[in-house]
Amino acid sequence: MGHINECSAGAEFGHARGSSAWSSRLAMRHRQLTVWTGLALLACAIWRFTYSSWPLADKLTVSSCSQDQFAWNSVIPSETLEWVSCYERPFECARLEVPLDYARPHGQKAAIALIRLPSKYSIGHALWRGPILYNPGGPGGSGVADVLRDGHAYSRMIGDDFDHVAFDPRGVGFTTPSLQLFRTTAEAKIFALARPTTLNDSADSLARTWAWSKMMGKLVEERKEVNWVAQHMSTAIVARDMLAITRAFGREKLQYWGFSYGSVLGATYATMFPDKVERIIIDGVVDGENYYAGAWSNNLRDADAGLELAIASCSRSSRCPLFAPTSAFNKTSSPSVVRARIESILAALTREPLVARDNATGNYGVVDGATARLRIFRALYNPMQRGMEHIFAALAAAENGDGAPLLRVSGVTNALWRCESGSGSECGPTAGLPIMEVMAAIACGDGDVVEHNNLEDLEAFYDMWAVHTFCAGWKVRPVERFHGPLIANTSFPILLISNTADPVTPLWAAKKMSKGFQGSVVLTQNSPGHCSVAATSLCTTKAIRGYFRDGHLPSPNTICEVEDQIFEPDEQPKLIHDVLRMSEDDRVLLAAARDASARFKAPRLGLAVESF
């Protein structure tokens, strides 16, 4: 198999990878699921696509630019970076004009929306260290929203002598042309409601899901403007955009930190442009071969481990809402006791769902076992930021017949929809929406075509992540698609970071991916959560800082511990780091790491925005 290297416009882009043998192996693979992985798979099969969870993302159109918005349409796209003040100081924004299709450099153009937290040194200054580009994952996450939220934390972690830069990828957010399949928010929400919530809602859920996916594919084919935009949204094209952004800063080599799906983007760039790598960190590493095969079949290998860590932590802390003493005479608990209590609550919710009303918001609805399982799974992405505490408290309330807390943490707000008037605004498209058609255009367009001509073929993939089913109706192919393999001898070794109990990007994938990149190193963080910043680790933070600043790679097989636990234990363990004995530099860096972790919104890999 060939791979894409930097090539002139119109050159061959590598050989297509055959998918039939790969797909057959996946379809034949028998999976033995524990009850907890089954819980995770059920959660990952959720198809509740909505529009309110991400920053700056509660409307598709607005009537005026509010205080936390910026008039992107007032920025004229340019082939050079023309920065203007935006949002709040000291952030600056620009729109970089690039070829819509790099094989036709003199043809139509795209305008990439960029944001930066500037270095304390001007571009070109002897002490300026250049830009670090960030991608928050998705696929379809907004880099603009990411750096607005986390840019200051990144700067404190790595240094304020870098420009901290992010962009909205093709079709996403403020980058134009943007992809919007539905003409109104109401149309999008009604369309999403027509899909079964999970693949096992009922006996015909898979059939209905298949039909729903085909309908979305037909809409894309019929709405020619949408089809045209989707053809220019591949990961390979965005990798070329990253090189264009780097060159617009006057640099030839990329500095990059990509999370979750951003690991696919970073690995793709490193393969296409191996001699254009200054520093690349891929964090929360996806198995790129599996992703490009369109399979999504091995993401959940470590999902059990994350939940078991939460259960074990709960059993050691009487502060945990589901802490359950082993007996009236023994006030200690055990993981088996906590696990049994959770199973009992889930079973009760499945047998008899609760009618719930949240008096604080006026929202109402029905919560059941599927609601609870999904929310438990979501909490595994950010278990340290009280996510697990909130869902365990909601389960404890449900055990007593009160479904309101579970309704609240589920994020379902069906009763609160509002129809917005107006057809657009000077603020431009809305940032931060990894909505279903955006995710499909990237993930399904990147992957091998899901060739299932009948339902029986699709049933072979029933026990895999539902993204595969989602792509069954998607037929749009990008003008440039990466064909692999992900193998390169880069101009500087890349750093891969993975947690031991990441629910959707297992440590195994990072080790597999590392084998393709000569000299690369895997740093293991001993924690749950999706991506390293989901937990606080001074060890990991120092490794990231040292890599970007000095090019220092951790020793192979390095394992970094974290500073906190999911629930504070009754018996305090020995501190990993005694803050009072730390150097001032380490105290500052630890505070920056805590701030980054507190702000971090773990990418919802493979899931569109999940709550109305």
Per-residue pLDDT tens over the stretch 366-404: 999 988 998 999 899 999 988 899 999 999 999 999 999
Is the pLDDT at 500 greater than 80? The verdict is: yes
Please name the residue ranges forming H helices in 111-204. 143-158, 185-193
What pLDDT is stored for residue 602 in this prediction? 78
Strand extents, DSSP E, 406-489: none
Distances (CA, A) of 300 to 12, 48, 303, 413: 35, 20, 5, 28
Rounded mean pLDDT of 173-179?
95
Is the pLDDT at 526 greater than 60? The verdict is: yes
What pLDDT is stored for residue 193 in this prediction? 76
Residue 560 DSSP class: E
Does pTM top 0.75 for this prediction?
Answer: yes
Residue-wise pLDDT tens digits, 219-272 = 999 999 999 999 999 999 999 999 999 999 999 999 999 999 999 999 999 999
Cα distance between residue 135 and residue 168, in whole Å:
9
What pLDDT is stored for residue 577 in this prediction? 59
What pLDDT is stored for residue 288 in this prediction? 98
Check: CB of residue 229 under 8 Å from CB of residue 177: yes
Candidate from 21-25, 116-120, 390-394 with smallest mean pLDDT: 21-25
Q: Considering the domain 1-31+43-314+426-563 in this protein, what is its CATH number?
A: 3.40.50.1820
What pLDDT is stored for residue 27 in this prediction? 39
Cα distance between residue 136 and residue 259, in whole Å:
5
Q: Where does the pLDDT of residue 343 fall: very low under 50, low under 70, confident under 90, or very high at 90 and above?
A: very high
Most confident of 64-73, 195-204, 337-346: 337-346
Cβ-based burial of 412 (10 A; exposed 0-12, middle 13-18, buried ≥19)? buried
Rounded mean pLDDT of 144-171?
97
Candidate from 74-88, 120-134, 226-240, 312-326 with smallest mean pLDDT: 312-326
Cβ-based burial of 419 (10 A; exposed 0-12, middle 13-18, buried ≥19)? exposed
Higher model confidence: residue 578 or residue 116? 116
Backbone conformation region of residue 17, classed left if phi is above 0, alpha if psi is from -120 to 50, else beta? beta
Candidate from 19-23, 144-148, 286-290 with smallest mean pLDDT: 19-23
Q: Where does the pLDDT of residue 23 fall: very low under 50, low under 70, confident under 90, or very high at 90 and above?
A: very low
Tokens 């870098």 map to which residue?
162
Q: Burial letters for 488-498: b for 16+ Cβ neighbours within 10 Å, e otherwise?
A: bebebbbbbbb
Is the pLDDT at 452 greater than 60? The verdict is: no
When the pLDDT of each residue in the chain is averaged and rounded to a whole number, the result is 83
